């Protein structure tokens, strides 16, 4: 199994001509409620990319939670380790997008904060997996506990260190493969990633923390792939971007799915970049995540 431990959010997305100032009320021109949360997005991406996937996560008691979980099951995800937490709401992201495509995001962790190390223990069997994929929208101690449990069972631990934050050496030492974007790589290492030299230096700093494989995603420019002592850029796919929400999540889910079926790192990166490129041509988070057949069709073009 490929196990994803992480967040589930309900994204409320409102499009406005510009952001309201403090105290101001502005009417937007479009509003949508879409399933999101990095854990959920990455699990959906892995499942649609063809991997047998389990999601360890929490939702609240609100009416939307059941339909979210039913959606994951419809994608073929094992939902048996998704807990419903009494007395809280499912995680929420209030997203404003302005006419130039910038966004502001206000998050409420809700049930995601209830995914504690103790709760994780009750799902320990889910961590007997081949690969564990983590992000940073659940408590840090839970990620540490998950990485320890999975590592002890011989799993590969993959960390997408998003949203950007500095991390303890203790967690980084448990990671086999890390996938920061440019901002996240700079936050982790203090090295600005503005060009390939910066990416190489940031990757070296992460190798020094004990991480064998570093993939820094560079948006439309592709990725910097670095294995101990050897780094190179792998370009992405040229597409017309309409909404880059969840590009990183799609990349991560598809990457681990390809690795899960035994692909080597470089072809797995190409598969993941094809998946992410397809996702940026479509609006929304989980709504934009492609399926394996579409990804393979793009790769064969």
Distance (Å, rounded) from C-alpha 298 to C-alpha 273? Answer: 10
Chosen residue from 46, 259, 276, 295 binding ligand ADP by CB under 6 A: 276
Answer yes or no: is 222 a known binding residue.
yes
Chosen residue from 94, 241, 298, 299 binding ligand ADP by CB under 6 A: 241
Chosen residue from 36, 110, 198, 236 binding ligand ADP by CB under 6 A: 236
Answer yes or no: is 125 a known binding residue.
no
Distance (Å, rounded) from C-alpha 280 to C-alpha 114? Answer: 31
Which stretch in 21-29, 54-62, 92-100, 212-220 sits in contact with ligand ADP by CB under 6 A?
212-220
Chosen residue from 213, 251, 256, 285 binding ligand ADP by CB under 6 A: 251
Answer yes or no: is 25 a known binding residue.
no
Site string for ligand ADP, 165-204 (x = CB under 6 A): ----------------x-----------------------
**Interface with ligand ADP, residue 278, by CB under 6 A:** no
Q: What is the dihedral of CA 196, 197, 202, 203, to 10 degrees?
A: 70
Chosen residue from 218, 225, 254, 258 binding ligand ADP by CB under 6 A: 218
The residue number with the shortest CB distance to ligand ADP is 248
**H, E, C per residue of 135-155:** CCCCCHHHHHHHHHHHHHCCC
Task: Write out the binding residues for ligand ADP, residues 124-163 only, by CB under 6 A.
Answer: 162
**H, E, C per residue of 176-196:** CEECCEHHHHHHHHCCCCCCH
- For the chain, the C-alpha Rg in angstroms (whole number) is 18
Answer yes or no: is 210 a known binding residue.
no
The number of residues that bind ligand ADP (CB under 6 A) is 20
| Cβ closest to ligand ADP, residue 59 vs residue 218 | 218
Q: Which two tokens stand for residue 264?
A: 């080597």
* Cβ neighbours of residue 132 closer than 8 Å, sequence gap 6 or more: 3, 4, 5, 146, 147, 150, 155, 156, 157, 158
| Cβ closest to ligand ADP, residue 72 vs residue 251 | 251
Residues linked to residue 84 through DSSP beta bridges, in sequence order = 59
Using alpha carbons, list the distances in angstroms from residue 44 to 8, 101, 289.
11, 25, 7
Verify whether residue 249 is a known catalytic residue. Answer: yes
Answer yes or no: is 218 a known binding residue.
yes
Would you say how long the chain is, in residues? 301
Q: If you search the block for the tokens 């700093």, which residue do you land on?
A: 205
Which stretch in 105-113, 123-131, 150-158, 276-284 sits in contact with ligand ADP by CB under 6 A?
276-284
The CA-based angle 238-102-137, given to 5 degrees, is 90
| Cβ closest to ligand ADP, residue 144 vs residue 241 | 241
CA atoms within 13 A on the CB side of 271: 26
Q: Give the active site residues.
A: 249
Which residues are annotated as part of the binding site? Answer: 9-11, 37-41, 137, 181, 217-222, 243, 245, 248-249, 279, 282, 284, 288
| Residues at the site binding ligand ADP, with contacts judged by CB under 6 A | 162, 181, 217-220, 222-223, 236-237, 239, 241, 244, 247-248, 251, 273, 276-277, 280
């Amino acid at each position: 199994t490929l196990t994803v431990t992480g967040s589930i959010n309900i994204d409320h997305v409102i499009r406005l001509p510009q952001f309201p100032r403090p105290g101001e009320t502005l009417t937007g021109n479009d509003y949508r409620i879409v399933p999101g949360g990095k854990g959920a997005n990455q699990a959906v991406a892995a499942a649609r990319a063809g991997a047998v996937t389990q999601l360890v996560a929490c939702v609240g008691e609100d009416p939307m939670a059941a339909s979210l979980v039913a959606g994951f099951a419809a994608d073929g995800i094992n939902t048996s380790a998704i807990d419903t937490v009494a007395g809280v709401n499912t995680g929420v992201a209030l997203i404003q997008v302005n006419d130039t495509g910038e966004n502001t995001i206000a998050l409420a962790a809700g049930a995601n904060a209830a995914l504690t190390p103790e709760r994780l223990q009750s799902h320990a069997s889910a961590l007997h997996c081949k690969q564990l994929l983590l992000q940073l929208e659940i408590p840090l101690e839970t990620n540490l506990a998950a990485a320890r449990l999975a590592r002890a069972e011989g799993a590969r631990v993959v960390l997408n260190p998003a949203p950007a934050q500095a991390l303890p050496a203790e967690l980084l030492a448990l990671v086999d493969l890390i996938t920061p974007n440019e901002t996240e790589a700079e936050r982790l290492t203090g090295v600005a990633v503005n060009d390939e030299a910066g990416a190489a230096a940031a990757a070296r700093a992460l190798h020094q923390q004990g991480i064998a494989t570093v993939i820094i995603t560079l948006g439309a420019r592709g990725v910097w792939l670095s294995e101990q002592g050897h780094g190179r850029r792998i370009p992405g796919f040229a597409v017309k971007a309409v909404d880059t929400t969840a590009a990183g999540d799609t990349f991560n889910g598809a990457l681990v799915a390809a690795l899960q079926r035994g692909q080597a790192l470089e072809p797995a990166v190409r598969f993941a970049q094809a998946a992410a490129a397809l996702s940026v041509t479509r609006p929304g988070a989980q709504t934009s995540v492609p399926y394996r057949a579409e990804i393979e069709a793009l790769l064969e073009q």
